[in-house]
């Protein structure tokens, strides 16, 4: 692929995550997670069909029978004879609950990689450890919390009390949280949105040093796509939820002690990453509507050149259209000051 074509696809990906963010934001604070997800999936799927690629969804909303749109194995893009072939991972909304209840840190995200370079993890959950460039190669997911924090403090040349660790606020993390507190590090608990949390470890001035805990396996691959460019590191181990699942994995030949690293999850010469904010957060600003315009903030990354761009886009709602797959037609985001239910037609 030429450098020019690479850049064009990068901008196309931004349009896809922007569309998902815009349509899902129409449901902000309305308490309906399914409507948020449906709106984002519909718009993302429709906009993907404009991109001149042969794309296959490797990580999506689930298996075909359970996820009629953006299911694993779905073909997206134009599929012209001379189009290049890619694997795609998507999370139309990382944090559907956050959008449904008007909470911060929800994003729409996707990555694109060479054919065969995105990992399939057989468990819904994985145990994850993410760090930025300064700690890459120094911590070990198999080591104790105490040991990893000691190593991190020495590497960063700060006391442990100045290390900040992000953890999803879940009952399953009570032991991890207790161990971090005993060592004396700072903890930032989050409700959802662990893609942004893992990426934050490698973002300058984020105030986050380590992300650790049990979260979604698909989200691990998506975070790895960004960390490829940022120079950070993600370590992952499979985390079966029951003895039955554990036994089935072992029977199928999976090694539960194996550690998957960043390039195991999102490999190849070049990985393209795009994310758009839906609600305001530490990583990206959310969608804002103002005087007939919608304003979005996105970030796009290319691992081959380590290029990172922040893009602020002003969408004129009088002319803005978003293709919806469910209707094979366009949604026009008009009359933003009217009640939202007046313009929630067209498949949303």
282 is in an annotated binding site: no
42 is in an annotated binding site: no
Q: Tell me the CA distances in angstroms from 153 to 138, 158, 211, 333, one per residue in order.
A: 11, 5, 15, 49
65 is in an annotated binding site: no
97 is in an annotated binding site: no
Write out the E strands in 124-251: 125-131, 164-168, 186-190, 210-216, 233-238
Interior/surface letters 161-191, b for 16+ CB within 10 angstroms, e for the rest: eebbbbbbebeebeebbebbeebebbeeebe
As a whole number of angstroms, the distance between CA 4 and CA 10 comes to: 10
137 is in an annotated binding site: no
The residues near 157 (Cβ < 8 Å, ≥ 6 apart) are none
Tokens read off for 260:
């998957």
219 is in an annotated binding site: yes
132 is in an annotated binding site: no
Closest CA to 211 of 172, 180, 184: 180
193 is in an annotated binding site: yes
164 is in an annotated binding site: no
91 is in an annotated binding site: yes
DSSP per-residue codes, 287-302: -EEETTEEEEEEEEEE
- Phi, psi values for residue 298, rounded to 5°: -130, 160
- Phi, psi values for residue 11, rounded to 5°: -70, -35
244 is in an annotated binding site: no
C-beta of residue 72 within 8 angstroms of C-beta of residue 88: no
C-beta of residue 198 within 8 angstroms of C-beta of residue 223: yes
Burial bucket for residue 251 (CB in 10 Å: 0-12, 13-18, 19+): exposed
C-beta of residue 44 within 8 angstroms of C-beta of residue 110: yes
32 is in an annotated binding site: no
171 is in an annotated binding site: yes
Q: Residue positions in the annotated binding site for substrate?
A: 94-96, 125, 170-172, 192-194, 216
Q: Residue positions in the annotated binding site?
A: 37, 61, 91, 94-96, 125, 170-172, 192-194, 216, 219
Q: Residue positions in the annotated binding site for Mn(2+)?
A: 37, 61, 91, 94, 219
């Amino acid at each position: 692929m030429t450098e020019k074509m690479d850049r064009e696809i990068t901008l196309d990906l931004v349009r896809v995550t922007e569309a998902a963010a815009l349509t899902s934001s129409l449901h902000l604070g309305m308490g309906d997670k399914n409507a948020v997800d449906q709106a984002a999936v519909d718009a993302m799927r429709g906009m993907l069909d404009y991109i001149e690629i042969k794309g296959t969804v490797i990580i999506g909303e689930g298996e075909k029978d359970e996820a009629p749109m953006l299911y694993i194995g779905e073909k997206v893009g134009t599929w012209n004879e001379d189009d290049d072939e890619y694997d795609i991972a998507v999370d139309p909304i990382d944090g559907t609950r956050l959008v449904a209840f008007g909470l911060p840190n929800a994003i729409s995200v996707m990555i694109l990689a060479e054919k065969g370079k995105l990992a399939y993890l057989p468990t819904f959950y994985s145990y994850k450890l993410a760090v930025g460039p300064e700690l890459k190669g120094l911590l070990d997911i198999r080591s104790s919390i105490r040991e990893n924090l000691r190593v991190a403090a020495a590497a960063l040349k700060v006391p442990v009390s100045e290390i900040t660790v992000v953890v999803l606020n879940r009952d399953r993390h009570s032991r991890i949280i207790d161990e971090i507190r005993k060592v004396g590090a700072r903890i930032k608990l989050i409700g959802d949105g662990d893609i942004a949390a893992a990426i934050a470890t490698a973002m300058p001035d984020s105030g986050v040093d380590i992300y650790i805990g049990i979260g979604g396996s698909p989200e691990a691959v998506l975070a790895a796509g960004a960390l490829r460019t940022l120079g950070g590191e993600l370590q992952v181990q499979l985390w079966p939820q029951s003895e039955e699942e554990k036994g089935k994995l072992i029977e199928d030949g999976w090694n539960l002690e194996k550690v998957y690293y960043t390039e195991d999850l999102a490999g190849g010469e070049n990985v393209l990453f795009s994310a758009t904010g839906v609600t305001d957060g530490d990583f990206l600003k959310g969608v804002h509507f103002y005087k007939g315009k919608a304003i979005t903030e996105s970030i796009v990354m290319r691992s081959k050149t380590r290029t990172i761009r922040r893009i602020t886009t002003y969408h004129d709602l009088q002319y803005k259209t978003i293709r919806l797959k469910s209707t094979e037609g366009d949604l026009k985001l008009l009359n933003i000051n009217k009640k939202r239910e007046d313009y929630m037609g067209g498949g949303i």
